[in-house]
Amino acid sequence: MTDFKLTNMYMSVSYNISVRAVTTIGGNSDWSEIKTVITTSDSQTPYRITAEPILMTAEPERMKIRWMIPNWQGSPATNLIIERAIVGSCGLAIIDWDTNPHTIENIEILPSKYVNMPLPHYIDVWVGSCIDKSGAAIENCPVQKKLSSATQYVFRAKANNTKGIAGSWSPDPTYFLLSGQSQGDVDVSPVLGNDTKCSKNGKP
């Protein structure tokens, strides 16, 4: 007997399920008899995102990154709350999640982009972008929202559905994502992000 957990199913929906065995040498059994199950009527907030983001596109002021959608527990995730931080001279050892309002983005995602797709589910989103979905510049977009050119960033995220926001952030980063290089001059400050809390600058 083998147990298998099905995830990312809608609440109060009837599902017909059938399984078959597949061997390592390519043999397949017949499909089993179809069993009908009905999911519960009580959805919950999404689980914690368990994977780090993947860089898809790097531009000087924004990035497209790919996130894994967690088990959304009956109600599809509709938003990702994404926070970013700059990697300082201490590297990944000290990350200052300073909760600056311009470093946290609440990004809408469309369930139609991932629901009914093979697991695991992924979604691509732009961070640091002052460009809307039509490609037009967003009016009065704060400069602080944009990324800096050729800069090392780390990200963490939570998923949100109709029941609320997941309780925990995604795991601590083990690698950084590098923004694109601008064609213009890059002003590199001697103190960036976590450097102010880094022992290399004489602070604990």
Q: How many domains does the chain divide into?
A: 1
In a domain, 148, yes or no: yes
One-character DSSP codes across 56-77: EEE-SS-EEEEEE----TBS--
- What would the pLDDT profile of 52-73 be if each residue is shown by its tens digit? 999 999 998 999 999 999 988 8
In a domain, 162, yes or no: yes
CA dist., res. 165 & res. 160, Å (int): 4
- Residue 182 DSSP class: P
Query: Beta-carbon neighbour count of residue 71 at 10 Å?
Result: 21
In a domain, 40, yes or no: no
Q: What pTM did the predictor assign?
A: 0.72
Q: Which domain holds residue 128?
A: 54-181
Dihedral sign of CA atoms 139, 143, 146, 149 in order = positive
Q: What is the pLDDT of residue 82?
A: 95
Query: Beta-carbon neighbour count of residue 93 at 10 Å?
Result: 10
In a domain, 158, yes or no: yes
In a domain, 203, yes or no: no
In a domain, 39, yes or no: no
Cβ neighbours of residue 2 under 8 Å, at least 6 residues apart? none
In a domain, 167, yes or no: yes
- Tokens 């008899």 locate to 33
In a domain, 2, yes or no: no
What CATH number should be reported for the domain holding residue 109?
2.60.40.10
Q: What is the pLDDT of residue 203?
A: 36
